[in-house]
Amino acid sequence: MADSTFDIVSKVDKMEADNAVNQARKELEQRYDFKGVGASVEWSGEKILLKASSEERVKAVLDVVQSKFIKRGITLKSLDAGEPYASGKEFRIEIALKQGIDQKAAKEIGKIIREQGPKTVKSQIQGDELRVSSKSRDDLQEVIRILKGADLEVDLQFVNFR
């Protein structure tokens, strides 16, 4: 019998992220406490740009954006929010979406699989994802259970289970 495999990836659905940004923009337009402070949320290339007239207001905008991402099912582990910085008369925060698993996190995941997972399971790094294989599907499901319980700094999805 051939090996069963699955891939471990870390991706953010672009449409869900876009919907979260649009919902945050609508809330900022409607809320009274954001009137007249120049609060805005918009895409700036691959990043999300938050603007407001003061540092406290831009942090409040960040809270709104984070709550919308959570409601859309995107964890905050997928967001890389920078620190507020002054730009002219306004303050800004840039948020980058984390796509893919970096080498350090991939090695950490591989180490967890080797130490805690069943001995028949093998993992290999393929670019920004990991391929996990074993003869037993039950062993693969055990690896998924272990990784869901592990406290990692990346959000993981398990795809292509064959």
- pLDDT, residue 36, reads 82
Same domain for 56 and 119: no
* Domain around 129: 4-11+101-159
Cβ-contact 40, 27 below 8 angstroms? no
Same domain for 150 and 126: yes
Helix axes 103-116, 137-149, angle to 10 degrees: 120
User: Which tens digit of pLDDT belongs to each residue from 12-56?
Assistant: 889 999 999 999 999 999 999 888 888 999 998 889 999 999 899
d(CA 87, CA 123): 46
**CB within 8 Å of 6: residues ≥ 6 apart:** 131, 132, 140, 144, 158, 159, 160, 161, 162
- Looking at residues 89-103, what average pLDDT do you find? 91
Number of domains forming the structure of the chain: 2
Nearest to 123 by CA among 115, 136, 113: 113
Of 57, 81, 97, the residue at which a domain comes to its end is 97
User: Which tens digit of pLDDT belongs to each residue from 48-89?
Assistant: 999 999 899 999 999 999 999 999 999 998 899 989 999 888
Same domain for 107 and 77: no
- pLDDT, residue 62, reads 94
Same domain for 122 and 68: no
Same domain for 57 and 18: yes
Same domain for 75 and 108: no
- pLDDT, residue 2, reads 64
